[in-house]
């Protein structure tokens, strides 16, 4: 909301958007009001336009998008189900916005995979965990290919685990 102030023979208009100040001086109040209305609406539109999908999409939605792509490309059922299982593997952060999931968040979730039980009842192997992280990395890659500005932390965590466990590709 703009404020108008009479200063000598001019009108000063001033307003703030996102802590940034905008101001100008005009000969008459009507022009000052028109300028303020125009500027506020343009700045608001620009802010709306710059809002990236990565700021609104959750990990759950990203996994769903990846599954849709796999189905569209007629991928095999195992590939689709492997991506679907990511919802269970990363359930603690499933509803987090992609842009809010940090490297440390994913590292913590990945370390929890070591405590999960596999099909035989034993702990998951490092190879199985790396495969899960690679699948999650493919979800992130699909977002990147669609033009979203996200960093592929699962890929970095794969590298970290490989170095810690002295594994090579």
pLDDT in tens, 119-143: 777 888 888 889 999 999 999 999 8
**Which pLDDT belongs to residue 120?**
76
**Which pLDDT belongs to residue 53?**
60
**Which pLDDT belongs to residue 55?**
67
Select the highest-mean-pLDDT range: 40-49, 89-98, 142-151: 89-98
**87 has pLDDT over 70:** yes
**Which pLDDT belongs to residue 17?**
81
Verify that 24 and 105 share a domain, yes or no.
no
pLDDT band for position 168 (cuts 50, 70, 90): low
Is the CB of residue 59 less than 8 Å from the CB of residue 42? no
Verify that 64 and 131 share a domain, yes or no.
yes
Reported pTM = 0.66
Question: Is residue 169 assigned to a domain?
Answer: no
**94 has pLDDT over 80:** yes
Which residues, other chains included, contact 43 with Cβ-Cβ below 8 Å and sequence gap of 6+? 17, 22
Verify that 66 and 10 share a domain, yes or no.
no
What count of other Cβ atoms lies within 10 Å of the Cβ of residue 112? 14
pLDDT band for position 13 (cuts 50, 70, 90): very high
Domain count, the chain: 2
Verify that 66 and 37 share a domain, yes or no.
no
Over range 65-83, report the average pLDDT.
91
Verify that 61 and 42 share a domain, yes or no.
no
Q: What's the Cα-to-Cα distance from 37 to each of 4, 15, 16, 47, rounded to whole Å? A: 12, 10, 13, 16
Verify that 113 and 133 share a domain, yes or no.
yes
Verify that 129 and 94 share a domain, yes or no.
yes
Verify that 63 and 20 share a domain, yes or no.
no
**Which pLDDT belongs to residue 18?**
72
Helices (H) and strands (E) in the chain, counts: 7, 3
**Which pLDDT belongs to residue 48?**
60
Distance of alpha carbon 24 from the chain centroid:
37
Domain boundary, last residue among 13, 33, 50: 50
List the domain range (segments joined by +) for residue 76: 55-164
């Amino acid at each position: 909301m703009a404020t108008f102030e009479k200063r000598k023979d001019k009108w000063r208009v001033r307003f703030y958007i996102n802590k940034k100040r905008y101001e100008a001086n005009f000969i008459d109040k009507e022009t000052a009001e028109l300028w303020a209305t125009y500027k506020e609406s343009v700045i608001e539109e620009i802010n709306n336009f710059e809002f990236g999908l990565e700021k609104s999409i959750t990990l759950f939605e990203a996994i769903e998008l990846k599954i849709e792509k796999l189905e569209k490309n007629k991928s095999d059922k195992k590939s689709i189900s492997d991506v679907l299982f990511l919802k269970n593997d990363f359930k603690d952060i499933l509803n987090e916005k992609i842009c809010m999931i940090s490297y440390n968040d994913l590292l913590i979730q990945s370390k929890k995979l070591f405590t999960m039980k596999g099909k035989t009842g034993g702990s998951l192997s490092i190879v199985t965990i790396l495969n899960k992280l690679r699948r999650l990395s493919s979800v992130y890659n699909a977002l990147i290919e669609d033009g979203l500005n996200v960093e592929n932390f699962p890929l970095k965590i794969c590298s970290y685990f490989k170095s810690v466990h002295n594994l090579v590709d």
